[in-house]
Amino acid sequence: MKGPEILTPAWDDYELIDCGGFEKMERFGRWVTVRPEPQAIWRKSLPDAEWERMADAVFRRDAGSEERGRWLLRKGMPERWFTEYCYRGMKLRMRMGLTSFKHVGLFPEQAENWNFIYDTVQDMKVSLGKEPRVLNLFAYTGGASLAAHSAGADVTHVDAVRQVVSWARENMEASGLDGIRWIVEDALKFVRREVRRGRKYDGIILDPPAYGRGPEGEKWVLEQNIGEMLECCAALLAESGGFLVLNLYSMGLSALLAKSVVNQLFPVPVREQFGELFFADRAKKMLPLGVFYRALYGNVMKM
């Protein structure tokens, strides 16, 4: 059995400059941000004065809050701007934004999965002779949806937050694409209904949070709900096969755990990869940013 891998994408418009002291300093295009990072447990490589000199926007948590906060902006720093990601025939343009939960509108390490999705959909389009049907759950601002759609997939994008789905639509339009199906709904409720309807998909992408709420207050707890979610997704995968991409961000969950829970519920894969996504900063410190599992099933792929 091939063991876990560590993967990092190449992205001209993104750089992890430094990380440490439970913070990270990143460049998105021309703008440099500083925000909390619980896994940066080591010391910073650059002095504090250099962080202060370089930063255009710094996130500071509100007193007594673990999540919410506010951004301190240098003069001229916009609250919204665009960044681009290019890979082979894929060119994505995505709007960045400074939110009160420290997020900026995308998770750069996921570009490694976007590459996989783009290549896989292109291969499937040839082998199937039609547009592959792809389901993206907990789809956020749509990077994976755009990657699949730009490669020729018929994409259904599901997220529980209407404003986030609107943001994803804006990214689609900025990337010169159209035709993605948008669903504002609790992801688990959606897949339960799709199973009852007998729907099938050629590719399934899941990017679940550790905790979350649906639009009607539905509660999501990763450790409690991931088993049923994956069981439903296994039922939705086309009989001829397809692909699965699973990301897990919750600290303490490993790539081996992701592999084990998927392998119990899905068919035996033709090929699988699992491991950690990361970026290295200028001092070569490797910051882990989540675990992934991805697999190909059946005989619909060019291997």
Summarize pLDDT for 210-240 with one digit per residue, the tens.
888 888 888 988 889 999 999 999 999 999 9
* Mean pLDDT value across residues 38-56: 97
User: Nearest-5° angle of CA 235, CA 241, CA 243?
Assistant: 85
Q: What percentage of the chain carries pLDDT values higher than 70?
A: 98
d(Cα 42, Cα 177) in Å, to the nearest integer? 42
- Encode pLDDT of 252-262 as tens digits: 789 999 999 99
Structure tokens at 105: 């509108």
Q: What are the structural domain ranges in the chain?
A: 5-82, 107-298
- The DSSP output letter for 38 is T
Look at residue 251 and tell me whether its pLDDT is greater than 80.
no
Alpha helices of the chain — where are they, by DSSP H? Answer: 48-54, 111-128, 143-150, 162-174, 187-197, 222-236, 255-265
Average confidence (pLDDT) over 142-166 = 98
> Is 243:236 a contact under the CB 8 Å cutoff?
no
- What superfamily does domain 107-298 belong to in CATH? Vaccinia Virus protein VP39 (3.40.50.150)
pLDDT in tens, 73-101: 999 999 999 999 999 999 999 999 999 99
* pLDDT one-digit tens code per residue, 180-194: 999 999 999 999 999
Write down the residue that tokens 């007193």 correspond to: 63
Closest to 203 (Cα-Cα) out of 275, 131, 259: 131
For the domain made up of 5-82, the CATH class stated in words is: mainly beta
Please tell me the pTM assigned to this model.
Answer: 0.96
Among 173, 136, 174, 137, smallest CA distance to 153 is for 136
Distance of CA 264 to CAs 228, 230, 257, 259, Å?
12, 10, 11, 9
User: What does the alpha-carbon distance between residue 140 and residue 270 come to, in Å, rounded to a whole number?
Assistant: 29
Mean pLDDT of 40-47: 98
Q: First CA to last CA across the chain, in angstroms?
A: 18
